[in-house]
Chains A and B, each alone.
With several copies, the nearest count.
Chain A
Amino acid sequence: MKYLTTIGSAKLEFEVTPDTKPIGVKLLEQAVNMDCRQLSPNSFSLLIDGKSYFLTITENGGGFAVTVNQKTVDVFVQDETGILLDKFGMSDSSSDTLGKIIVPIPGLIAKLFVSPGDTIEKDQKLFILEAMKMENEFTSPVSGTLSSIHVKKGDTVNKGTLIMEITI
């Protein structure tokens, strides 16, 4: 079975034989001598042609956050079916979720820099969240128009609260 993996802008295609042990892997028509063992729910040991890698892999939305050499990257995996669906334009678009600004930690909305209707540039300051005695500045991940704000200054918000929405 073919697998397409995406790390940032890099794409790697593998031919995987999952029912052999160790799992057979081919990259660019070259067989890779691969031995992967799960050590704990989130840790794996991987030997590729003798090289030893200790990997931490957690699920991260549609993909996996993989830590190798203390660097974490997001890896998206598509199998044959997924690749086909993509070709026919049938995969789910996620652009509508990119503009949803959600806080990853609880805290206090200390300052709001923008108002509904504002044109927002990528990396523009949006608001300040006070948490752990520090002021945390949140910037926009996208460019677009601010369609709504769901909090006001002084609000205490929980982790995961939707703060504002930007239409791309």
Chain B
Amino acid sequence: MIQKILITNRGEIAVRIIRTCREQGIKSVAVFSDVDRTAPHVLKADEAYPIGPAPSAESYLNVSRILEVMQASAADAVHPGYGFLSENAEFAETVIRAGLKWIGPSPDAIRLMGDKMAARNLAASVKAPVVPGTTEPISDIRTALETADEIGFPVLVKAAGGGGGKGMRIVSRAGDLEAAVNRARSEAVKAFSDDRIYIEKYLEEPHHIEIQVFADTQGRVISLGERECSIQRRYQKIIEETPSPFIDDQLRRKLSDTAVEITRACRYTGAGTVEFLVDKYKNYYFLEMNTRLQVEHPVTEMVIGFDLVKEQLNVAEGKPLSFPDKHLHPRGHAVECRIYAENGFNNFAPSIGKILELDFPQGPGVRLDEGVRAGQEITPYYDPLLGKLITWGQDRSEAVERMLRALQEFHVVGIETSIPYCLLIIGHESFRSGNYCTKTLEEIGSTLEEQGTSLSAEAAIAAAVGAIRRDLINTPAPAARTLERPQNSPWSMQGRKDGLR
């Protein structure tokens, strides 16, 4: 039995794991970089140890320091969360060699599926369709051009070790291919020290749909259904839901079966996600497998009613999964919005600073997995994900209306967030109707940007009256005010300009 888990992560996923630990009577050990001393995962864990300066390379990726904490805390298992060391096969091996339980798939499975080429080959071996394209990394630009011509433009240029939009380029004309390959390669080298690049067909109105799989050490492999992840900005997911409004039962079954076969073929254990692209004709293609818990796992939890972290612990302990033998009976519909520290109306520019005021949504059908607290400084060092808001409803419409209601209840002062942006996406006809694909956000972007600062006459009056009232607080004696008015600082003018456009 696992007694104490070291969580080699931060933010909302570390808090998420701590919560399940507490419910299971397992001690949790947090690690923190210098700027994270008072972050929620440190405050909520049973134990917490410093692991170095702010930059991830010197702290959350600092394996030797983490090994020291493993010893000091006498933890008997390691949960890596997602990102950071979660898909690092060498780290998984190190943990296992040190005699601790690794809460994740085997290092071999991580290594295999982490290599896009190998994963593609494995998928092909179980006859899973893959997107037409190169199966070997591009060696020279001439072969690249030939392949692209063969599968037809537009094509997608992708990095082997990539993910989350990093090292990815759409190319519409042969003339742009070389520059795109070079840029993707340089980004890939910087982000994951792997310069292998390949090319694949770019699909029509593609949907990004993934299947949550789970496998135990008894040999049981199960699909927990799909997640629709087509709402993406900068190639990164921002809104997810399950079930997908796009796919039907037949396709759902096909995707599930394919995902289970792939999972079985790579001798997988634990939680994993098999990602597919599905085009407008409902053709589906295996994309990649994420060998970890996914950011958006809560939407699945909401409809199936099982705690996936708890199931991860079951597998790590060699116990069978607790899902029922036959059918899972998912119930209702769940939607997730990722709350990022960023301005959706200004090219998703990250926002940093101190969170001065913070109130979260509450009430029926609302779940919040948060990684921040009031008073916390948001630094530029890590992923800007502040937390995830998940709503559940009897049907899609209830879940969606609830999401609108819950997003409105947020109150964040001090940093900009993706909340206003998510509100407009969720409220937009494309999303409401369920009729969207990975290109939708790009298409409706300018409409959303316009809506972003347009107020009703009533709300504008309220804003004006509020500002006057606020102005009166600043200057109880109004006459003296104009003379004391400070010079506009250049930076505040910058803010002003952003707000007005």
- Interface residues in chain A, defined as those with a beta carbon under 8 Å from any beta carbon in chain B: 1, 3, 5, 7-8, 10, 12, 14, 16, 18, 23, 25, 27, 32, 34-48, 50-66, 68-77, 79-82, 85, 92, 94, 97-98, 100-102, 104-107, 131-134, 136-137, 141, 159-160, 162
Contact B500 A8 (CB under 8 A): yes
Which of A12, A32, A50 touches B460 (beta carbons < 8 Å)? A12
Contact A51 B458 (CB under 8 A): yes
Task: Kindly list chain B residues whose C-beta atoms are within 8 Å of the C-beta of A12.
Answer: 460-461, 464
Which of A73, A106, A134 touches B234 (beta carbons < 8 Å)? A134
Task: Kindly list chain A residues whose C-beta atoms are within 8 Å of the C-beta of B43.
Answer: 39, 45, 52, 54
Interface centre among B45, B420, B459 (most CB of A within 10 A): B459
Distance of A47 Cα from B492 Cα, bound (Å):
29
Please, what's the 1-or-0 string for B227-271, where 1 marks a CB less than 8 Å from any CB in chain A? Answer: 000000010000000000000000000000000000000000000
Which of A52, A58, A136 touches B349 (beta carbons < 8 Å)? A136
Contact A79 B375 (CB under 8 A): no
Contact A71 B453 (CB under 8 A): yes
Given A68-B463, A134-B350, does the pair A14, B499 have CB atoms closer than 8 Å? no
Which of A73, A81, A134 touches B453 (beta carbons < 8 Å)? A73
B30: nearest residue on chain A (CB-CB)? A52
Q: In the assembled complex, how far is the CB of residue B383 from the closest CB belonging to chain A, in whole angstroms?
A: 7
Given A37-B37, A52-B30, A70-B420, does the pair A62, B496 have CB atoms closer than 8 Å? yes
Contact B459 A131 (CB under 8 A): no
Task: Kindly list chain A residues whose C-beta atoms are within 8 Å of the C-beta of B73.
Answer: 50
Task: Kindly list chain B residues whose C-beta atoms are within 8 Å of the C-beta of A73.
Answer: 453, 455, 460, 463, 499
Given A73-B499, A105-B352, does the pair A55, B493 have CB atoms closer than 8 Å? no
Contact A62 B465 (CB under 8 A): no
- Interface residues in chain B, defined as those with a beta carbon under 8 Å from any beta carbon in chain A: 29-30, 37-38, 42-49, 72-73, 166, 191, 234, 347-352, 356-357, 373-375, 380-384, 407-408, 410-411, 413, 419-420, 423, 452-455, 458-474, 478-479, 481-482, 485-497, 499-500
Task: Kindly list chain B residues whose C-beta atoms are within 8 Å of the C-beta of A131.
Answer: 350, 380
Distance of A60 Cα from B499 Cα, bound (Å):
10
Question: 18 more A-B contacts (CB under 8 A) besides A81-B482, A102-B491?
Answer: A7-B455, A14-B465, A52-B48, A58-B413, A60-B495, A61-B489, A71-B420, A71-B452, A71-B453, A76-B467, A77-B464, A80-B478, A92-B487, A97-B488, A104-B349, A105-B380, A131-B350, A132-B350
Contact B482 A85 (CB under 8 A): yes
A70: nearest residue on chain B (CB-CB)? B420
Task: Kindly list chain A residues whose C-beta atoms are within 8 Å of the C-beta of B408.
Answer: 69-70
Distance of A60 Cα from B422 Cα, bound (Å):
24
Q: Which 4 A-B pairs have the closest CB atoms?
A: A61-B492, A75-B467, A74-B499, A5-B464
Contact A66 B463 (CB under 8 A): yes
Distance of A64 Cα from B460 Cα, bound (Å):
13
Task: Kindly list chain A residues whose C-beta atoms are within 8 Å of the C-beta of B29.
Answer: 50
Contact B375 A40 (CB under 8 A): yes
Contact A94 B464 (CB under 8 A): no
Q: In the assembled complex, how far is the CB of residue B389 from the closest CB belonging to chain A, in whole angstroms?
A: 13
Contact A55 B466 (CB under 8 A): yes
Contact B468 A52 (CB under 8 A): no
Contact A36 B499 (CB under 8 A): no
Task: Kindly list chain B residues whose C-beta atoms are within 8 Å of the C-beta of A62.
Answer: 485-486, 488, 492, 496
Task: Kindly list chain A residues whose C-beta atoms are within 8 Å of the C-beta of B478.
Answer: 1, 18, 79-81
Q: In the assembled complex, how far is the CB of residue B473 from the closest CB belonging to chain A, in whole angstroms?
A: 7
Contact B472 A104 (CB under 8 A): no
Contact A65 B495 (CB under 8 A): yes
Q: In the assembled complex, how far is the CB of residue A11 from the closest CB belonging to chain B, in whole angstroms?
A: 9
Contact A8 B453 (CB under 8 A): yes
Task: Kindly list chain B residues whose C-beta atoms are within 8 Å of the C-beta of A55.
Answer: 462-463, 466
Distance of A50 Cα from B29 Cα, bound (Å):
9
Which of A8, A37, A48, A94 touches B461 (beta carbons < 8 Å)? A48
Contact B350 A97 (CB under 8 A): no
Distance of A46 Cα from B37 Cα, bound (Å):
10
Which of B350, B455, B471 touches A77 (beta carbons < 8 Å)? B471
